[in-house]
Each structure stands twice: as structure tokens, then as C-alpha cells.
């Protein structure tokens, strides 16, 4: 490149119209177009207009919003004028994407800059969009650094649209006038993107996920209504950090409210770190000259080694479909802004390397019309984005599970438990046919159960967190272990006789439940998905009387900590909400603790002894007499 004595003189010499700039592109060249909201629209329009004189052109792009449909031109000309190479990883699900599926080049986002810089995929022309130069000749790539910087650094011909509306972002976002061959001054609004309206399902997904995000966590957040609903659910957290591909309006709002402070990230502390911004004009104004925001290229942002250096890295991404073994496909859709773009595997693996990190994949349990389950028996013919071995947390509007370390049978039971109730029977039968679960297994009424998250509660006893929650199908083995660990006396009090074996029939009915006629609560200590059951409280509806029979068992080390009282209070609340008339319990006469526990309820308790056991009974429409009355 010939340089003038002073960059400002060179700037003037390099000025051309868009048409003149595009005319410099020769047939057969590979042309990169700046990605997402950083797309140089004026240059793309000029390129589109010139396609009839060009042949053999290959357009390379990442996450284009298709303001000018080059894909359509490629289709109409049978790829004669130009061919498209879209760097994207995921399943092409919508009609428009599926029509152009041949253009997709699956790659991990972290590897794309290296593909350009090593010239394994030579970039002949880079069409980019930049800010006007500062006093030293530096122009910022603004909202789109990701793979654009590497494309510009490696291209033979760099054509830059200079747009004063592009925010000047800090970090590794700059390119010098001397390193650009052609400049086209054209002011126009940047592309903006509005997320689709959050559904009730998205809100529930957000509530489930928010429970896993601890104060001081570092976040990576995908692009989807469910992701943004999750962000909204984090408003009560403290000292969160941010390291992600995309900054959105909701992230900006959390930063403005002081929820995201970046003080405890462990890396790049004090900085919002991202490679791209997608959102409103307000977001772009927020980014302009903001020293608290650091833009970096994708080979840094998406490097699993870099991701893993953050404290409590929580990766939250949207999946389109998951099969019963845990294989994940990601969605390609204009509504989710290509939620499956290829950064997901990088962050899934990086978050797992982080101390205290979590990888969370969220998906809707069914299609919008409810007819198709998003949890399927197998991903036949669909691109796998995340292999089953990399999947940890999976969340739908019906609950959350941790698949890490789980057998295929445990995964089946866990995922069916968070599937849409209308599809659980079908999934269960398909799993049997595929021999993923034993032929003797059954779900019964559990296929209709909707997990009652409002019954969840975490308490602290002697400095240890104990979570009380409704049981799930995946809890079967842990409940079994709890019974085996009870001492002889507690077994007798619970089952009214000596018992040395607790086979599946003893625990299956306590994990395969419908939450209405049959409800089991468990008390768990330890990490989600790996916790130890230290208490079980349950009720079973007696149909003829509309009274629910309750029973409890609590590990010796946790007795006297108020767990029985908490169990009973929650079971009574759930029974009333489900239209049950009252509770009954049978216990040994010497079990004074159970008698005292039952009498803590605000109802009249009737006690009857039949010569062998003591029956305690109450009705919810018979309140106890006030103390002192």
C-alpha cells in the first residue's frame, strides 16, 4: 500500500463513491461483508446493483440481517454472479434459511479469525463500516468487531464505509486509515434489532435460570426472547460480570442499574467485554466512547481458555431441540437472530472450565402451536450443535435438570420431566422402543404433572443450605439411597416394620408423581443435580375420602432442624391448593415427635388409636381453637 506523508492527506485521496469502490472488485474474488448490525449497507446496495457484471464472486459473511438479499440474487442466478458462504453452526429450521442451507459453513466462532489470518480462506475484499477517524487516524469498527477485524487485517482490498452514526467503541476495535484502501463516506442509521415479545414460557424459563446465577457470577447470554427474559430475572442480583459475544439493550439496563458491575470477574475486571452489539439506537449511544466497555475479536471472546478464567462463568444459550440422550440442535431464525450461531460450543466448554461455572441451555418445551415437542427421541437428520457429553443444565418452562454424569436412562427420565405434558407419553414410549429405559418402567399419572416451582425453598441450617422442593423423576436413585441410609429405628417409624430392602417399587411412586393426587417433597444438600436427599415428605390422596395420607423420613443427622415442620406446612398448602379436604397420618404411639408436629397445623387434630397405630387427622375447613380461648 502506498502511503502519503500524512494520514489525513491519504484519507482524502482514498475517498470514492460506493459505486466507484465496488467497481474495483474483479470477478472471481472472495468478498467479506461486515456482520450483523455493523453491515455496511451502502456498500452492500452497491454490490447488489453490480452483481450482473460480476461472475464467480463469493460473499463471506457472519450473521447477516439480509437488508439486501444477496442470497436471493445467488439463487436467481444459480450462483453464477455470486455464491454465499455463511459462517454459521446450527440447524436451518425456518423456510427462508432452509432454502439457502447450502451456503452454511459450520465452524466454531473462536476459530474463524484464524481461518482468515492464516489465509486458509483468503479474503480478497473486505467491506466494512467504521467511524470517522480520530485525531490520530484511527477508526473504530464500532458495534461489529467479532470476525470483521480479522477480515480487514487479512484482506487484499479493504473498502470502508465511514458512517458518523457508528459508535466509537473501546478495546481492540480500531483500524487505521493507512490500513484501508478505499473510503466511502455515507451517513445512515445503523441497523437495529428488536427482540420478539417475551412469552409466558420465556418468563418461566428466566425464573428457573435465575436461581442458578449467584452474586458475583460472570454472564454470557445468547440472543433470544428467553435469554432476555432471563436477563430481566437477574435484576435482584449483585456484582455480576459480563463476557459475551453480544451486548443487548437488556444488558445495558442491568449495567445502568448497577446489577452488572464487573468487579468480581477475575479477568478484565471493571469492563463489559463483547465482540458485537445488537439492539436499539439507545444502546449504540451508550457504547459511544464508553471506557467501561471493551470490544474484542471472536478469537478472544470465544476462546474457551479465556472464558474459563472468569469467576463463576454462567453460559446461557437457546437451543431449538434436544433429544432424550442430550444431543442439542440450535435454531436458525430471524426471530432469534440466529440464536444457534457458532459461539455456543465455545461458551458451553469454557463455562465448564470456570471455577463455579455453569453451562445452561434453554429451550421451549414445544412449538408455538404446541403440536411439536422440542424434546425429541432422536435428532435424525438435524445438525448437532452441542454433543451430549458437553450438556449440563437444561431448562424449559417446566423446570430444570442437570444431565452431567447421568446415564441415558436418567437423562430420559429427567428430560421427560421438563417436557410439555402433552408429549410425555409419546416420549416415554419412544424411549422404551429405543431401549433407552427398561421395558418395566412406567410413568403413570406423572406424564400430566406440572412441576410446582412455588413449593421450592432454600433454608440454612448450621451454615449449610438445604433445598426443599418437589421430587422429580431423576430423583429416584437418590431417594432410594436415602432410605438405605436410614437407621433401623427411623425405618420402623416410617414403614411400621423392619425393612432391609428398598427396591424400585418403593421409590418409583415417589419420583414418578403427578404433583396433585400424589406429591413428594425432598430435602437436598449439595450441588444441583448431584445433591444428597436427606429428607422425604409425601402425601397420597385417598380418593374415597378426599383426604391425603402424609408420611415423613429424615436422616438422623438432620433431625431436630425443623425439616418435618417445613414438609408438613408445604404439603398442607399444596393439598389445599389442589382441592384436597385434609390430611391424615399413621404413626407408632411412641412417636411423640410426629404427634407434636401434626399439632403445629392451624387445624383441629383428631387422634384415634386402633390398637396398633395412632391415626392423626385434620380437615382444612376445621380451624383449631385460638390459643387461650
Question: Phi first, then psi: what are they for 47, rounded to 5°?
Answer: -65, -40
Tell me what the mean pLDDT of segment 191-202 comes to.
Answer: 74
Question: Phi first, then psi: what are they for 625, rounded to 5°?
Answer: -65, 140
Domain boundary assignment for the chain: 7-185, 200-441, 454-623
Residue 265's pLDDT is what?
A: 96
382-410 pLDDT tens trace: 778 899 999 999 999 999 999 999 999 99
Written as nine digits, the cell of 181 is 484502501
C-beta neighbour count of 4 within 10 angstroms = 14
Q: Considering Cα of 40, then 45, then 46, then 48, what sign does the dihedral take?
A: positive
Residue with cell 415427635: 593
Question: Phi first, then psi: what are they for 537, rounded to 5°?
Answer: -125, 135
Tell me what the mean pLDDT of segment 73-98 comes to.
Answer: 56
CB-based contacts of 168, cutoff 8 Å, min separation 6? 131, 134, 140, 142, 288, 289
Torsion angle, alpha carbons of 61, 63, 65, 68, to 10 = 10
Residue 196's pLDDT is what?
A: 60
Residue 55's pLDDT is what?
A: 82
- Residue 491 pLDDT > 70: yes
Residue with cell 411400621: 496
Strand bridging mode 57-61 / 30-33 = parallel
**22-26, 69-73, 95-99, 243-247: least confident range:** 95-99
Residue 274 CA to residue 294 CA, distance in Å, equals 7
- Residue 578 pLDDT > 50: yes
Specify which residues 464 forms β-bridges with. Answer: 461
CATH number, span 7-185? 3.40.1080.10
End-to-end CA distance of the chain: 97
DSSP 409-435: HHHHHHHHHTS-GGGHHHHHHHHHHTT
Looking at the chain, the whole-number percentage of residues with pLDDT higher than 70 is 86
Q: Domain spanning 200-441: which CATH class is it, in words?
A: alpha beta
C-beta neighbour count of 593 within 10 angstroms = 15
Tell me what the mean pLDDT of segment 342-356 comes to.
Answer: 90
Distances in Å between the Cα of 438 and the Cα atoms of 178, 322, 342, 428, 504 are 68, 21, 36, 11, 12
Residue 469 CA to residue 401 CA, distance in Å, equals 13
Residue 352 CA to residue 600 CA, distance in Å, equals 45
Question: 492 falls in which pLDDT band (50, 70, 90)?
Answer: confident
What is the architecture, at CATH level 2, of domain 454-623? 3-Layer(aba) Sandwich (3.40)
Residue 241 CA to residue 262 CA, distance in Å, equals 4
Residue with cell 444441583: 528
Tell me what the mean pLDDT of segment 113-141 comes to.
Answer: 96
Question: 603 falls in which pLDDT band (50, 70, 90)?
Answer: very high
Residue 113 CA to residue 171 CA, distance in Å, equals 17
504-526 pLDDT tens trace: 666 666 666 778 888 999 999 99
Residue 294's pLDDT is what?
A: 97
Mean pLDDT of the chain: 87
Question: Do 7-185 and 454-623 fold alike per CATH?
Answer: no
Decide: helix, strand or coil at residue 216: coil
Tell me what the mean pLDDT of segment 264-287 comes to.
Answer: 96
Residue 331's pLDDT is what?
A: 58
Tell me what the mean pLDDT of segment 266-284 comes to.
Answer: 95
Amino acid at each position: 500500500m502506498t502511503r502519503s506523508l500524512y494520514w489525513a492527506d491519504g484519507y482524502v485521496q482514498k475517498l470514492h463513491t460506493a459505486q466507484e469502490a465496488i467497481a474495483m472488485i474483479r470477478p472471481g474474488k472472495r468478498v467479506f461483508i461486515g456482520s450483523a448490525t455493523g453491515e455496511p449497507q451502502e456498500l452492500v446496495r452497491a454490490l447488489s446493483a453490480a452483481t450482473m457484471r460480476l461472475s464467480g464472486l463469493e460473499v463471506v459473511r457472519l450473521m447477516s440481517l439480509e437488508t439486501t438479499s444477496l442470497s436471493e440474487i445467488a439463487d436467481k442466478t444459480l450462483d453464477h454472479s455470486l455464491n454465499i458462504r455463511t459462517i454459521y453452526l446450527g440447524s436451518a429450521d425456518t423456510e427462508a434459511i432452509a432454502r439457502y442451507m447450502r451456503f452454511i459453513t459450520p465452524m466454531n466462532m473462536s476459530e474463524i479469525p484464524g481461518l482468515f489470518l492464516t489465509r486458509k480462506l483468503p479474503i480478497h475484499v473486505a467491506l466494512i463500516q467504521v467511524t470517522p477517524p480520530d485525531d490520530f487516524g484511527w477508526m473504530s469498527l464500532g458495534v461489529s468487531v467479532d470476525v470483521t477485524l480479522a477480515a480487514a487485517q487479512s484482506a487484499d482490498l479493504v473498502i470502508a464505509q465511514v458512517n458518523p452514526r457508528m459508535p466509537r467503541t473501546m478495546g481492540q476495535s480500531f483500524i487505521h486509515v493507512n490500513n484501508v484502501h478505499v473510503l466511502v463516506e455515507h451517513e445512515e442509521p445503523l441497523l437495529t434489532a428488536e427482540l420478539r415479545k417475551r412469552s409466558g414460557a420465556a418468563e418461566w424459563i428466566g425464573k428457573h435460570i435465575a436461581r442458578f446465577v449467584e452474586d458475583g457470577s460472570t454472564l454470557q447470554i445468547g440472543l433470544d426472547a428467553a435469554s432476555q427474559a432471563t436477563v430481566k430475572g437477574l435484576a435482584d442480583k449483585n456484582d455480576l460480570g459480563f463476557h459475551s459475544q453480544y451486548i443487548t439493550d437488556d444488558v445495558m439496563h442491568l449495567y445502568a442499574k448497577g446489577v452488572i458491575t464487573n468487579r468480581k470477574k477475575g479477568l478484565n475486571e471493571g469492563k463489559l467485554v463483547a465482540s458485537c452489539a445488537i439492539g436499539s439506537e439507545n444502546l449504540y449511544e451508550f457504547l459511544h466512547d464508553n471506557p467501561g466497555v471493551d470490544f474484542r475479536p471472536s478469537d478472544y471472546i470465544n476462546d474457551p481458555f479465556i472464558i474459563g478464567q472468569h469467576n463463576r462463568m454462567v453460559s446461557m444459550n437457546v437451543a431449538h431441540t434436544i433429544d432424550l440422550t442430550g444431543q442439542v440442535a440450535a435454531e436458525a431464525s430471524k426471530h432469534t437472530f440466529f440464536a444457534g450461531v457458532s459461539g455456543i460450543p465455545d461458551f458451553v466448554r469454557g463455562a465448564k472450565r470456570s471455577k463455579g461455572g455453569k453451562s445452561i441451555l434453554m429451550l421451549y418445551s414445544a412449538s408455538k402451536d404446541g403440536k411439536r415437542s422440542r424434546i425429541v427421541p432422536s435428532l435424525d437428520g438435524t445438525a448437532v450443535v452441542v454433543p451430549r457429553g458437553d450438556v449440563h443444565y437444561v431448562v424449559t418452562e417446566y423446570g430444570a435438570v442437570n444431565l452431567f454424569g447421568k446415564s441415558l436412562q436418567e437423562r430420559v427420565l429427567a428430560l421427560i420431566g421438563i417436557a410439555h405434558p402433552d408429549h410425555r407419553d409419546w416420549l416415554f414410549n419412544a424411549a422404551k422402543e429405543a431401549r433407552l429405559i427398561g421395558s418395566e418402567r412406567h410413568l403413570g399419572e406423572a406424564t400430566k404433572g406440572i412441576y410446582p416451582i412455588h413449593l421450592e425453598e432454600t433454608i440454612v441450617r448450621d451454615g449449610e443450605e438445604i433445598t426443599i422442593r418437589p421430587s422429580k423423576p431423576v430423583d429416584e436413585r437418590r431417594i432410594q439411597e436415602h432410605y438405605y441410609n436410614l437407621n433401623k429405628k427411623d425405618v420402623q417409624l416410617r414403614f411400621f416394620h423392619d425393612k432391609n430392602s428398598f427396591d424400585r417399587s418403593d421409590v418409583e411412586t415417589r419420583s414418578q408423581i403427578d404433583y396433585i393426587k400424589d406429591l413428594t417433597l425432598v430435602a437436598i444438600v449439595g450441588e444441583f443435580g448431584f445433591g444428597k436427599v436427606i429428607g422425604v415428605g409425601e402425601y397420597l390422596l385417598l380418593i374415597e375420602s378426599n383426604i391425603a395420607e402424609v408420611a415423613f423420613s429424615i436422616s438422623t443427622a438432620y433431625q431436630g432442624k425443623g425439616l418435618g415442620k417445613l414438609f408438613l406446612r408445604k404439603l398442607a398448602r399444596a393439598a389445599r391448593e389442589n382441592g384436597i379436604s385434609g390430611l391424615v397420618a399413621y404413626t407408632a404411639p411412641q412417636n411423640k415427635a410426629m404427634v407434636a408436629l401434626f399439632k403445629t397445623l392451624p387445624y383441629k387434630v383428631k387422634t384415634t388409636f386402633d390398637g396398633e397405630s395412632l391415626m392423626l387427622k385434620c380437615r382444612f375447613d376445621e380451624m383449631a381453637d385460638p390459643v387461650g380461648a
